[in-house]
Structure 1
Amino acid sequence: MKNKKMVMIAVFVAAVIASSYGSAYAAANLEPINAFFNRGVSFVLKGELWQPKDESGNPLTAIHYEGSNYLPVRALAEALKIQIDYDAVSQKIYIGGRPAEKTPIFAMPMEIDNIYAILSKDSKETLVKNKQFQEVLKIDQYGDVVFTIDRKYKRLVLDAAVVSPGEHEVEFSLYNASDNAANTAQTILKKLAVKPDDDVKQLVFNVEGLEKIKIHVQSENTNPYIYARILDTSYFDNGDPAAKEGTPSAGSKETSTK
């Protein structure tokens, strides 16, 4: 068998995306072209040899077409830890996540300080500002919560409040908690605050490009009891396409940075 085998690029694309095309769609949108498997190409990802693979773990070979080498977008995106989704109905490939899709905060892998920060579903503790929630993260003195997000999101939209008998302003500080953060792990990327007389407040943090983040919750005073709550309506997403750059979406109440 020859090293360079003639293939149909349309068949390759269909296998990569794993979609079912009707004959009418294929006739209107798929154009057969001549291309080659380029088995002489190897890949180095972040200084190490990398072998692209399909969803079943089978090795993939680059396609050579008109002077360029092509790889399946899913294999490359997953190697770079970029979220990727395919919508078979609209025939759209979303690289970097779907803009309007939200991932609830408590559905994410996380580590919490279980001494002063505790997840609760107790109906008395989930009643915040006269609104009933299903679950909250209660932080009565100070606490940290670490989320592993693998660079899949652009924003953390945090719904937070200070409940009675809290009497101190509470600061929510964002840190880079990646193992590779080194000295920058001690640098506050953004700090937002909630006051006791505020209603539930929406805090928006930019987390684009981060693998792991830490939210540190504490008053600027020395370890007072703060009675802070992070609510289950908080979420990660890839931005609000309806909002202008730097402008919170309708109904949001982003605080200013100190």
Structure 2
Amino acid sequence: MKNKLAVTAIGAAMVLSMGTGVFAGANLQEIKAYLNGSITVKYNGSPVQLQDEQGAVVLPITYDGNTYLPVRSIAKTLNVAVNYDGATNTVLLGEQIEGVALAKSFSDSSYHTKDPDLTTYKGKDYKDVYFDNAKSTRGSSFMLYPKGKYQKLVLQAAATGNDIEKFFVQDSDRDIKLKITTIAVAEGLKTIEVDIAGVDKLFVHADIKGSGGLFVPLTTSYFK
């Protein structure tokens, strides 16, 4: 069944809520519009409440016979990632062409390292990695924070020493596993893709046996 969005209005368009700082020097035209609390929005037949990033209720705006809905709220309802590039005044919906490497924001774990003795895998130095190389059977995990801005996580991971028989990526807020897989040593660097639209926080976990390890290059793993 296709996802449908019904809006009880003459027409519909979408606008992105942005901080006042982005308006400096922008090509803006002043208009007279109205907040319209009589508009009802339904998604797949069920009423939805439009909210901003902080959870406050937002109303549609009516102007010149058209109704404008906040794009961030609609994107959240449709489970589509949304972001704003202030440098180019561009609204980014869905999967982005250019990936954003995890190395740009990763700072979660004691196993995060840039030590050249630890960041090299099969002859290639990845410069910035998560490498759990402890020597006992254990759970190894870290957090990622896409903050609802991305559609997909592309994660590269390798098992060292012993196969990893359980590896998963979980929506931390909803406690839902988005991907469950295994990583064999023989697979080398495995690419794992996870749909993360609308997800704020991710919990990444591996069960490691004995002296096995988990190697995740943060320069080639990315959000998009």
Fold in common (TM above 0.5): yes
Q: Residue in 1 aligned with 2:32? A: 36
Q: Residue in 2 aligned with 1:137? A: 130
Q: Residue in 2 aligned with 1:217? A: 206
Q: Is the 8 A contact 1:84 1:96 kept in 2?
A: no
Matches within 5 A, 1:149-160: 149-160=146-157
Determine which of 86, 93, 96 is the counterpart of 1:95. 93
Aligned length: 186
Q: Residue in 1 aligned with 2:7? A: none
For structure 1, list consecutive stretches of 5 or more residues without a partner in the other structure: 1-14, 22-29, 53-60, 238-258
Deviations 1:11-42 (A, max 9, x none): xxxx9866666xxxxxxxx9x9x963225759
- Where do 4+ consecutive residues of structure 1 move more than 2 Å? 15-21, 34-37, 39-52, 68-78, 84-88, 91-97, 108-112, 167-172
Q: Residue in 1 aligned with 2:4? A: none
Structure whose alpha-carbon radius of gyration is higher: 1
Q: Residue in 1 aligned with 2:112? A: 119
Q: Report whether the alignment pairs 1:203 with 2:180.
A: no
Compute the displacement of 1:110 (Å).
5.5
Instruction: Label 1:83 to 1:96 Cα distance change in 2 as closer, same or farther (>3 A).
Output: farther
Determine which of 143, 146, 153 is the counterpart of 2:143. 146
Compute the displacement of 1:234 (Å).
0.8
Instruction: Pick the structure with more strand per residue.
Output: 2
Q: Is the 8 A contact 1:174 1:213 kept in 2?
A: yes
Scaled by the length of structure 2, the TM-score of the pair is 0.64
Higher-RCO chain (CA-CA 8 Å, sequence separation at least 6): 2
Compute the displacement of 1:146 (Å).
1.2
Instruction: Label 1:42 to 1:152 Cα distance change in 2 as closer, same or farther (>3 A).
Output: farther
Q: Is the 8 A contact 1:159 1:203 kept in 2?
A: yes
Letter of the aligned partner of 1:38 in structure 2?
A: Y
Scaled by the length of structure 1, the TM-score of the pair is 0.57
Instruction: Label 1:162 to 1:39 Cα distance change in 2 as closer, same or farther (>3 A).
Output: closer
Compute the displacement of 1:192 (Å).
2.2
